[in-house]
Structure formats: structure tokens, C-alpha cells
Structure 1
Amino acid sequence: DVISEGDGAKLKNGDAIQVNYLGQAWDSTKPFDNSFDRKQPFDLTLGAGMVIQGWDKGLVGKKVGSRVELVIPPDLGYGEQGQGDIKPNATLVFVVDIVKATQTPAPAEGAEVAQDNIDLPKVGTKTDGKAPTVTIPKSDPPKKLVSNYILESKGEVIKETDSVVVNYVGLLWKDSKAFDSTYQTGKTQTFPLAQVTLKGLKNGLVGKKVGSRVLLVIPPDQAFGNEAQQSIPAKSTLVFAVDLLAKM
């Protein structure tokens, strides 16, 4: 239900949105989560599966500036398994303030920048919505962070306090295997840079322009260091090709 309706655009799947919210179980008087108290809005791409289905379904069509109440049954929430303080088969109630939204544009665009260092990966420049090719050389990886334009746009400069909307593919330098890619799901990712724990990712994107494609080569000391991370071995150098689609 719409508690108070804003006068902004209606939300669509694929929009990058920023919200404040309070959530509690139907049979509880105590919230289990509250971004208002944290004074930190939450960023997401609507319809990308970044949140429970009840959010993705319930926010579509609502206007920016609105306050919305979502009552979410278990099958559109956390189901039989629950989550943290949320009991199995819980019906959830959220009050959501839609702070702002931006329509995610098409792939990155801009002037091609020469890739003339043979010791760095070469990134494709096609902007057809598919993952760009990334060719990693057989040489040893650089010891310091690399953050280079592949396509340089004329968009706004990214600041550390911004949230960004991106498409990316991430690979291991050692064997060129992809360990993560938004292109596999067809959904962009939205996140606040201030909360990014991968140091090289944050440092490499700050100062770059919206609309650009960027090559990042992240040494272990700015990645996961001596810790293995799922399919990423310890002491890995990581390679990302990132399309900076928007900022919030």
C-alpha cells in the first residue's frame, strides 16, 4: 500500500534506486532492520534479485518520493529457512521510503583509449550489452593497483561518497578464469563505494567518470590478501572490466 505518494517517476525493473526502510515480522513489535537509525540509505537495482522477491514485486510501479508499506508472505520473503532474527515462515512488514532512482543506461560509451602496454590485459571495446573480452598476458602481474580507462566518457566524476551502478566481469590473472560477472544474470549491480570491502575496487573507481569502461588490476594487498574467497585462491591478483553506468 502507498502511505504517501511522491511525485517522481514510476519505478521499473532495471532502475537503480535508493531507499530508507524499516522491517519487522508481522507477529513482532521490534524491528529486525532499520536504515533510518543507521542514517545510511540502501541502494539496489530493482528486479536484479538483490533483495527478497516481495521487494522486487512490491516496489515496481511506485513513484519516487513515496512511502510504501509492503506486507510480504513467507514465499516472497525468507520462506521456510528464515534469516538471522527472522523466524521460518515469517510474514514481514516493511515501511519503505523511495528516496531516488535513476534509469540505468545502455552499456558504457566514450572515446577509446589506447591500450599500448603489452604487460597489461587488453579489454574489448564493443558496447553491445555483452561482456567485453579480456585477454590477460602471460607475464607477471603488476605489484600496484592499475586503474585505466578503456572507454572514457564525459560524465560526472565518481566520488567515494557515491553509490554506483555497474556492469562488470572479474577474472583471475593466474588462469584467466572468470569468478564473477553481472552479464551472466543480465542484471546490473548497485552499491555504495563507502561500503565496498575490496579496497582496490573502491580505489580504482573513485575519480573515474560515469559512462566509462575501466580496467582494474588489483594486487593481493588490495584484494583478499592471504585469504581464499570462494573460487578465488589466496594471494590472487584480480582483473576487472567495469562499465560505470550511473551514480547516485
Structure 2
Amino acid sequence: MKKPLFLFLFILSSVLIGCHKSTPENDGPDKYDYEYELTDFFGTYYGSHFGKNGEYNFNSTFHNMKLDGLLFIDGVSYIFDIYTSAPIDVNNPLPQAGKYTLGKKDETKEMTFTPNSKIEHVDKDGFLTASLALKEGEMTIAYENGNLIMEAFIVDNLGKSHHVSYSGPAPFTDSSQGPTDQITIIERDVDFDAPNSWTSYANNIGLEEGLIKVCFSLYDMNFDSSGYFIYPGNNLR
């Protein structure tokens, strides 16, 4: 009787090992710590400015925040710093369809999103309450009827799993020409009242332990219904 029992246990253990998944997804009820169908999108296309070997960069923000006057409030945003090959249509640049994986620090390989990608939570008053780095993950992009369809499985730096999706328009601001990130070098005195401000955690890449980068933005413009600045105006960052 011992041999059949040993054989059964061996087969059972082999099946369990074979069914283990190294990706963030899993089966069964309550699969993920966080699961969202994100409702809105904005992004910036930087061309090949930042690609170390000619890759093309799309900074893409998928979120479910609400626009309250001048502030985005009460929601979460998933920000992917994507690198891919050249867009098919230069007049309407979009990331290539396919599967993207979390890349390595200081690399910009095609079909990856970099460790600069992050998850941000904003409370009902518009304050940033959490900014999480990504530990592992994968994302798929497809296109159908003019819409971008995104699905991602992520594990954050706290070990929490995320499953997020989006289906809708993907308007990218084209910053592939001229200064990166639409930054203008200030060559004269600038004097303006900035009644509005936004502060967010950038990252801690390449910094000593205990130090972080923080982005401050002071501006005198309002937002349109899609969350874009209404120009003309000033944005000091």
C-alpha cells in the first residue's frame, strides 16, 4: 500500500508545482487586492527623445478620478512610462499593440514600461495620499473601433496585486518636437500670480536612501472637461 500512496503524493505535488503562476494574476474568488475599470485617459508622446537606442516613449495615465473645478479628486491613477517602436501613424502617434512588461532600471527596451511607472491615490480633497512603485507586472494594449483597450496585472512595491482595465479614447499630447516635456528655458524675468498648484511624488531612482524627488507645479490656467490646461497661461514646474 505504501507505493501507490507515494505515487499519488508525487503526482499531486507535481500538479501543484505545475499550476503555480509567477505572474500577478491568479484564479479563484477575490483574485486581486485592487481591481478597477478605469474611466479616463491622458498621455504625452515624447518621440525618441528619451529612448537610449531609438525607442519611442509614451507617458500614459489611466485613471478614475473626478474633476472638481481645478482639481482631480477621489480616485486612483496608473501611470505607465511606455517604450515601443515607431508609431504607425506619425500624425496620430499611438503605442504599438501587444504585450508590455516591467523593464529594468535605466533601460528603455521596446515593449516595456519602466520603473518610473507608478500608482497614485488622491483623496476627496485632491491630496496625494499614496504613490506606489511597481514590483512586477505586464500590460496588454489593443485597438478596436478607434479605442485603446488596456489590461494590466501588477504587483506594487508593498506586495499588493492589481488588475486594471480601460477601453476608450487615447488622446496623446505630441511633445516629440522641440524641448522635451514642453519645458521652456526661462531667459527673462517672469511675474505672474499662481492661484493653483499641484504637488506629486516623482520617484527615488538614483537617489540616496531616504531622499525622494517631488514635482511642484504652479499655474494660472483652468482645466477643460477632459482635464487639459486651457491656454494661454503659465505653468511653472
TM-score normalized by structure 2?
Answer: 0.22
- Name which structure has the greater RCO, CA cutoff 8 Å, separation 6+: 1
**Higher strand fraction: Structure 1 or Structure 2?**
2
